[in-house]
Structure 1
Amino acid sequence: MRQIVLDTETTGLSAESGDRIIEIGCVELLNRKLTGRNLHHYINPERDSHEDALKVHGLTTEFLSTKPKFAAIAHELVEYLRDAEIIIHNAPFDVGFLNKEFDRLGLPPVTQIVDGVLDTLVMAKELFPGKRNGLDALCDRLGVDNSGRTLHGALLDAELLADVYINMTRGQDALLMDEGGSTEEGPAHEAVDLSRFELPVLLANDQELAAHEGVLTGIDKDSKGKTVWRACAAA
């Protein structure tokens, strides 16, 4: 499965009011592993950034004036995204800006190019109801090192979000570069027949059961009674 973790930086908050994309960063995952085939561009927006936005990303008009315009990188971006699932934190914001840029060039909207859009902000709100779910907060909660994030940057944020996504979906403890450790037939590991082993069954004691119930009660309280296991137990 091919997935692209995507982030943008912009001149402001409103694509409809004429704000433009100034940076785009994309990180490719193949079967939930980093491939190293990333895409990153700074873009000349042909306008100044709002003062508040400039404080966030630090990309000055002078710096961006020598960069390509969006039209110059659009077709490369479309082919890179084509048929992949894209993963974005607060997807409506980035998708709205991309759609506006594509529309200016007569290109189709994002949803007609990609295989789907996954919003990690929506995921995070479901996993951590009532908590702060910005990228920095998620990095802190999930143990992702974001110490190098002094300013927002599209590629760095996409790399952090890739690690956050893997942690939220519990697929891996860490991302590993795919450097040829597998073949077309599958990973190069010796198969083990687990049926040869008789595994012991260890039952929880009363103290462990009480501690477990305490954790479940706390989670149930934080989610305001929306935990799945309580609903199943009551059914």
Structure 2
Amino acid sequence: MFSLQNKKAVITGGGSGIGRAIATLFAKQGAEVHIIDLRLESAQEAVEDIKKLGGNVFSHACNVANQKEVIATFEAIGNIHILINNAGIAHVGKVDTTPESDFDRVMEVNVKGVYNCLFAAIPQFRLSRGGVIINMASIAAWVGIPDRFAYSTAKGAVMAMTLSVAKDYIKENIRCNSISPARVHTPFVDGFISKNYAGKEAEMFEKLSQSQPIGRMGKPDEIAALALYLCSDEAGFITGSDYPIDGGFIKLNN
């Protein structure tokens, strides 16, 4: 079950965190994996580690916010079967504390970046006569999270794009779903805490962990396992859905 043999997968932001976990698992399951990352160094580190495990994996430096770069990268990769839109950035701020420049930056990466990859991927899916798309949304698209105005706005757009794409391309054998994680423990989270809560790192880590009713943050491997199922043939009847993976955050945090 859950084999990805003879499948070609593109994973944006695959050099670290959730994207890297997905890339590693997909390669293990037999996919030819193409990691797209802003920094080639990060992507290449992931490639080297995955190759040591016997995976068939390649790296590509690309700014997902730049459509010309994205189209050129996807054309170089060729026909694909799976797209994981995982690349994204975070932001802290309410609407009146979010400068226009920060709002634009979040939209450029988290919304336009997803659009660019969808735009470039559809012709490649057609060459493969179908495929699967996973857009990485967030619980922030479901509930109000304090001081996350721009990020929540962007992830709400990602969820809406998922529904639109699922409906528009269902007759072309292209499935599209989204995953909405709660907080997941990645190097990004550690860096985010140290940058924004200097001197209170341990306290904030515990606070963020306990905000999930299950009492901890998620693990990248857990998100990767859900992505694997949704991209496998076993999930062939699933499209146009969002999957919270949140330790009970949405339903039990009342």
**Normalised by the size of structure 1, how large is the TM-score?**
0.28
Select the structure that is richer in helix.
2
**Normalised by the size of structure 2, how large is the TM-score?**
0.27
Higher Rg of the two aligned structures: 1
